[in-house]
C-alpha cells in the first residue's frame, strides 16, 4: 500500500467514523454515517463533522448497507494510500478516476481510520455480528457468557473476572462475524471499534444507577 518509513506522519489525519440510527417524524428511522478528524479541538462537534451518507432504514436491507460500506472502505483505502485508485470496490472502472490513476491525492495528505464508533445496533449491522445479549456469548470483544453456571459470567465484573483474560484478537473477531467490508480494510484492527459514550453512559448506565440509588 505504502512505505510507512517514507510516510510524512505530519500530513496524516486520524479519522473517527460514526454511525447511528436517528428517529424523525412518526418514529421514521434514518441511518446516519459521518466522520471527523480526531485532531479537531476548540469547536463544536457539529462544526467539524461531515456527513458520509443518510439512509432511510425502512427502505434498506443488509445489502444496501454493504454497498455503502464497500464504497466507504474503498474511499478510505484511497485516502490511506494518498493516491488515486484506478478501480472501484468491485474491480470496475471508475469514470471520474480516468487519467488520475496513481497520481498523488490531496497534495500528499493522507487519512487513516483510527476509530469506528456507534451503538451496539449500528456496529452489529456494520460488522454482521451474531453475538448479542440473547446469545450464550454476550460480548464481541471477549468471551463473557450469560450462562449462570459459566466461569465467564458477564456479571463478574471485578478486576479479577475471568472473562477479562479472554479478549479477542483481530483474527478471532473476524471469525466471529460474517463477511463485511470493514474487516477487509488494510490494517484494520479490532481495537478500532468503539462504543458511543452517549449510549453507554447517558442512555444505559446512568438510568440504571439512578434507579438503584432511588
205 band by pLDDT with thresholds 50, 70 and 90: low
> What is d(CA 195, CA 154) in angstroms, rounded to the nearest whole number?
18
* Domain extents in the chain: 7-119+180-197, 130-176
Question: How confident is the model at residue 212, as a pLDDT?
Answer: 65
User: Mean pLDDT lowest for which of 14-28, 55-69, 127-141, 196-210?
Assistant: 196-210
User: Mean pLDDT lowest for which of 88-92, 99-103, 128-132, 143-147?
Assistant: 128-132
| pTM across the whole model | 0.82
Q: Which three cell numbers stand for residue 170?
A: 483481530
pLDDT tens, residue by residue, 23-54: 777 778 888 999 999 888 777 767 788 999 99
Residue 159 has pLDDT above 70, yes or no: yes
Classified as helix, coil or strand, 8 is: coil
Question: How confident is the model at residue 182, as a pLDDT?
Answer: 96
CB contact at 8 A, 29 and 3: no
Give the mean model confidence (pLDDT) for residues 126-131.
90
More confident residue, 204 or 161: 161
- Residue 208's region, left for phi above 0, alpha for psi from -120 to 50, else beta, is alpha
> What is d(CA 131, CA 152) in angstroms, rounded to the nearest whole number?
15
Query: Torsions phi, psi of 150, nearest 5?
Result: -85, 140
pLDDT tens, residue by residue, 167-198: 999 999 999 899 999 999 999 999 999 887 76
CB contact at 8 A, 182 and 188: yes
91 band by pLDDT with thresholds 50, 70 and 90: very high
Strands 29-37 and 50-56: antiparallel
Determine how many CB atoms are found less than 10 A away from the CB of residue 106.
12
Amino acid at each position: 500500500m505504502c512505505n510507512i518509513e517514507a510516510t510524512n506522519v505530519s500530513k496524516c489525519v486520524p479519522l473517527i467514523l460514526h454511525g447511528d440510527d436517528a428517529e424523525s417524524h412518526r418514529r421514521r428511522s434514518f441511518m446516519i454515517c459521518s466522520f471527523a478528524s480526531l485532531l479537531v479541538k476548540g469547536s463544536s462537534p457539529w462544526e467539524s463533522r461531515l456527513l458520509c451518507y443518510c439512509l432511510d432504514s425502512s427502505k434498506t436491507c443488509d445489502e444496501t448497507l454493504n454497498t455503502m460500506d464497500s464504497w466507504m472502505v474503498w474511499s478510505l483505502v484511497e485516502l490511506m494510500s494518498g493516491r488515486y485508485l484506478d478501480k472501484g470496490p468491485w474491480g470496475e472502472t471508475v469514470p471520474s478516476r480516468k487519467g488520475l490513476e496513481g497520481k498523488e491525492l490531496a497534495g500528499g495528505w493522507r487519512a487513516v481510520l483510527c476509530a469506528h464508533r456507534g451503538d451496539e445496533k449500528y456496529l452489529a449491522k456494520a460488522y454482521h455480528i451474531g453475538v448479542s445479549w440473547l446469545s450464550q456469548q454476550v460480548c464481541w470483544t471477549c468471551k463473557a457468557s450469560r450462562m449462570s453456571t459459566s466461569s465467564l459470567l458477564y456479571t463478574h465484573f471485578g478486576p479479577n473476572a475471568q472473562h477479562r483474560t479472554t479478549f479477542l484478537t483481530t483474527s478471532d473477531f473476524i471469525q466471529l462475524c460474517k463477511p463485511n467490508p470493514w474487516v477487509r480494510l488494510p490494517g484494520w484492527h479490532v481495537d478500532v471499534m468503539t462504543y458511543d459514550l452517549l449510549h453507554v453512559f447517558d442512555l444505559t448506565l446512568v438510568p440504571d444507577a439512578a434507579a438503584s440509588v432511588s
